[in-house]
Amino acid sequence: MNKKLIKEVKHSFKNQFKTKPLLVFSPGRINLIGEHTDYNDGFAFPAAINKGIALAINKSNSGTTKVCALNKNEIYEFNTENVKPLEDGGWRNYILGVVAELQLLGKHVGNFNSVFAGNIPGGAGMSSSAALENSFVFGLNELFDLGLSKTEMILVSQKAEHNFAGVKCGIMDQYASMFGVKKSALLLDCRTVESKPYKIDFATYKIMLINSNVKHDLSESAYNDRREVCEKVSGLLHIDALRDASKEDLGRIKGDITEEDYQKALYVINENNRVKQFSEAIKKEDIHALGDLLYQSHEGLSKNYKVSCAELDFLVDRAKENPNVRGARMMGGGFGGCTINLVKKEAFKKFKKDVSKKFIKAFEKECSVYSVKLSKGTRVVK
Ligand code: GLA
What is the per-residue pLDDT across 336-374, written as a single tens digit (0 to 9) for each? 999 999 999 999 999 999 999 999 999 999 999 999 999
Of the residues 45, 157, 169, 271, which should be mutated to test ligand 1's pocket, given the most ligand atoms within 8 Å of the CB?
169
How high is the pLDDT of residue 218?
A: 60
Mean pLDDT score of the chain: 97
**Has residue 237 got a pLDDT over 90?**
yes
Sort 192 into a burial class: Cβ within 10 Å, 0-12 / 13-18 / 19+. exposed
- On whether the CB atoms of residues 271 and 35 are closer than 8 A, the answer is yes
Per-residue DSSP letter, 120:
S
Of the residues 33, 162, 173, which should be mutated to test ligand 1's pocket, given the most ligand atoms within 8 Å of the CB?
173
Annotated active-site residue 173? The verdict is yes
**Has residue 110 got a pLDDT over 80?**
yes
- On whether the CB atoms of residues 198 and 184 are closer than 8 A, the answer is yes
pLDDT band at 27 (very low <50, low <70, confident <90, very high): very high
Which of the following is catalytic: 41, 173, 261, 313? 173
Question: Distance, CA 170 to ligand 1 centroid (Å)?
Answer: 6
What whole-number distance in Å separates Cα of residue 194 and Cα of residue 190? 7
Q: CB of 54 closer than 6 A to ligand 1?
A: no
How high is the pLDDT of residue 344?
A: 98
pLDDT band at 229 (very low <50, low <70, confident <90, very high): very high
Among 116-125, 244-253, 320-329, whose mean pLDDT is lowest? 116-125
Question: Distance, CA 235 to ligand 1 centroid (Å)?
Answer: 21
Q: CB of 245 closer than 6 A to ligand 1?
A: no
- Angle (deg, nearest 10), helices 310-320 and 287-299: 150
Q: Give me the mean pLDDT over the 33-37 stretch.
A: 98
How do residues 286-299 score in pLDDT, each as one tens digit?
999 999 999 999 99
Q: CB of 38 closer than 6 A to ligand 1?
A: yes
CA dist 307 to 147, 220, 331, 342, 374, Å?
39, 11, 10, 21, 26
Helix (H) or strand (E) holding 11: helix 2-17
Q: Give me the mean pLDDT over the 81-86 stretch.
A: 94
Q: CB of 46 closer than 6 A to ligand 1?
A: no
pLDDT band at 215 (very low <50, low <70, confident <90, very high): confident
Question: What is the C-alpha radius of gyration for the chain, rounded to an integer number of angstroms?
Answer: 21
Identify any residues that bridge with 369 across adjacent strands, giving them in sequence order: 210
How high is the pLDDT of residue 122?
A: 86
Q: CB of 173 closer than 6 A to ligand 1?
A: yes
